[in-house]
Structure formats: structure tokens, C-alpha cells
Amino acid sequence: MTGPEKQDRPLGGRWSRRGVLGGLLGAPVLFVAACTDSKGGSAPSGPSGGADSSGGPTAGSGSAGSSPKTSVAKIAVFPVTGTTDASFSQPVKVTVADGTLTSVVLADLAGTAIPGRLAADGASWTSTGQLRSGTRYTVAVAAVDRAGLEAVANTGFATATPASTFVGYFTPEDGSTVGVGMPVSIRFNKVITDRAAVQEAITVVAEPGVEIVGHWFNSTRLDFRPQQYWASGTKVTLKLRLKDVEGAKGVFGTQSKDVTFTIGRSQTSVADLAADTLTVTTDGRVTASYPIIGGAPDHRTWGGKLVISEQFQQTKMDSATVGLGDEYNIPDVPHAQRLTTSGTFIHGNYWSPASQFGHANTSHGCISLRDVQGGTDPNTNAAKFYSSSLIGDVVEVVNSGDKTVDPANGLNGWNMTWAQWKAGSAL
């Protein structure tokens, strides 16, 4: 048989062209075994003389007056049998001296085979895929020497469990329904230095299909979005395949899961701080217009496209938490919806005079709508806007007099051009 013909034989007596990555530790163990006697018959195995206690062949006894023949093929498997901390990022290797490999089967204890590649000369086999950490594997090997005598080896090893791991905390939640401006945002609990490896292990797909690109804001945050807002009704799936991906030296991922969410009705709003109005458009039709209060001249509201990232029926707002000293401390702000990480909200307001709504900008940077204390009246403007909103809806602020919000401040990557967004991809 020629070298290429051998290479095409799949596992278990036939060869596969594919493979797996596995760990290699220690020195090789050599196996020599005979399987035929001088008459070519199968030699019986026995408790003594075996090269491998896990089931390797033993030298058989020939007929009277003849000597048993033993294969001179010597098989070596890396990592060696009994290894308990093999690397899962290096390939498994099998070699044979004075012979040719005829079968290699690498599998986990559930029986899942790991494919590999046979060298053209039949003298070695290398896995070419990915082993999993903390997993036990077996390797069954057969080879023949030039006389056609067979040698076999059966070994086992376990891969190491990483000492240091990382996870990605994602938004939105699995099974949620969100607005058209909702990006997929992943924050890692460890610094990622191999951004390409991590991004390659994360896929975001949409039905109907659309191009989706990842953008790194920093070494711990990766967001995904399409060029334009999502279409209403789109089903989006985040596929995390981070298990055993090395995000930084010696730091490996642990997650392998899918997260699916749905884009709801299309709703965007425009907050015009010159006219002090909030205009709501739902599925292409203006559905509401509310008088509002925006940021005062010394605390102007960020401009640009701001995505609702959190919703609270009621929350506390303390100026000390945003670097404004003791200017305000309101324990029960109703119908609050977060627009930036730094503390910009669109929320209900029961403390300002009714005459200010639609006529004055007096806030510390938030946008407010008329409400009642406790938020118990569903007919207030703040309550109606809150009940019509989803996490992921976009509120675009115009004529605020301030600069455009930093795209990394909240889920606000829509304030980057498509070219700028794609430039932040590691792939």
C-alpha cells in the first residue's frame, strides 16, 4: 500500500484526514507484541509476558518444535499512559519504529472519537482538533512490521483542569425580547490579550440574515451589532464557544452555550432639547409626543443615540455617586430607564413644577417626563413612555448643546460609523 493510500484510511482500521488537539506530557512508552505463531495462527493472550496490562498482546507459544515470532514494531504514545495533567492545547502523537501504523483510535470515555492525520510514510499519527480540559481519553493503536506481524497498544490519560479561567457576562438575557438598537455586549472578568482567539470563538447570527461584526471597546468588553438597527421580528443567537480558549497566557475560557433573543416592535424616540419634546415613533408611525425637561446649561445632556440598558419602576438617585457632591438625593425616582453607564437616565419627575416641562432645561443631565411620587398613576407621561419601552430601544438626543456621548458609555456603539465599528474587530 502506498503512503497516500494509508493516509486515507479512517480510524479503527480506516484513516481519517481530520484530527484533534491534545496534550503531551512525559516520555514515550514502547510496546512490542506478537500476534502470530510460526504457522501464521493467532497467538493466545495470557497473564504473563504482556507489554500492556490494559489489554496489549502477549507472545504466543508456537507448535512443538517451533519458536514464536514477535513483531518488531515498537509503538509510542504521547502523552504516556497514566498521565493525569496532560495539556489540552497540544496534539496527541503516536509513532511506530520498525513498522507501519494500521489503526489509531483516540476517544473520550463516552466513546466520542477524536480524528487525526496519518503521516504519508505510516510511521506517525497526530491529532488535529481540540481536546477538552478535565477529560479522560483512551488511545488504541495497531501496527505491523515488515513481516506482517501485528503489535498493539492501549493507553489512557487525562487532561488538566485550568488553574485560571475567564467567563463572559453577556446582555441581553436568553429568551428576552428587546428593542431594535440592542447590541450583544460581553464583558469579561479577566483581561483578554488574545482578542482574535476569543472573538473567533464567539458567533452572532440572525434570522433573517444580516452582517454582524464585533468591536472591542477595551480588553474586557466586546460588542456585536449590524450596520443598521435590527429589523423587527429578527431572531438573534449568540454562540459562545469559549471553553478551553486561551484568552490570555494561562487563562482559559469555560463557557459553551447558546443564547437566543428576539427583536420586538420597532420603536425609536427623539428628544429635542431645543423644543423640549420627546417624539416616539413605533413601527414607522408617530405614536406619542411628550413635553420634557433636559440638562441645564451647566449640566447638559449628552447628544447622540442612546440605548435603554436598564429599567427600574423606582430607584434612588444620589448626586454623590456621579461626582456632583450633595446637589440632590432623591430616594424614589419613578419610571427610570438608564441611557449611559455614567448615570444618564430618562425618568419620571414629580418634584419639578408642571410649567417647566416643555419649556425649561433644569436637570443635571437626565431627561425627565411628568410623573407622580410613587409612580402609581399609569396615565402620566412618564408611566406611559415607560410601559411602551423595551430594553434596547433608542432615544436619540438632538440640540442638547453638548458633545456626542462616548460610544463605550453604555450600549451606545451606534454613535460610530460602520467603518469605525469594523475597525475595532480583531478578525
Phi, then psi, of 7 in degrees rounded to 5: -65, -25
Edge-to-edge strand list for the sheet holding 113-114: 113-114, 100-108, 136-144, 150-158
Residue pair 89/132 in contact by the 8 Å Cβ criterion = no
How far apart CA 254 and CA 251 sit, in angstroms, is: 10
Residue 39 backbone phi and psi in degrees, to 5: -100, 5
Residues 6+ apart with CB under 8 A from 155: 29, 52, 54, 77, 80, 81, 138, 139, 141
Does a cis peptide bond (omega within 30 degrees of 0) precede residue 226?
A: no
Q: Which of 375, 384, 402 is nearest to 278 (CA)?
A: 384
Q: In 59-99, which ranges are E strands?
A: 74-78, 93-97
- What residues are labeled active site? 347, 366
The set of cell numbers assigned to 97 is 519504529
Q: Do residues 365 and 319 make contact, with C-beta atoms less than 8 angstroms apart?
A: no
> ω before 28 within 30° of 0 (cis)?
no
Least Cα distance to 314 among 409, 391, 393, 386 occurs for: 386
Residues 6+ apart with CB under 8 A from 28: 76, 77, 78, 80, 95
Helix (H) or strand (E) run with residue 381 in it:
helix 381-388
Q: Give the three cell numbers for residue 69.
A: 515470532
The beta strands (E) that lie in 274-339 are given as 277-282, 285-291, 304-307, 310-318, 329-338
CA distances from residue 272 to 138, 234, 283, 289 in whole angstroms, order as listed: 67, 29, 20, 11
H or E segment at 165? strand 164-166
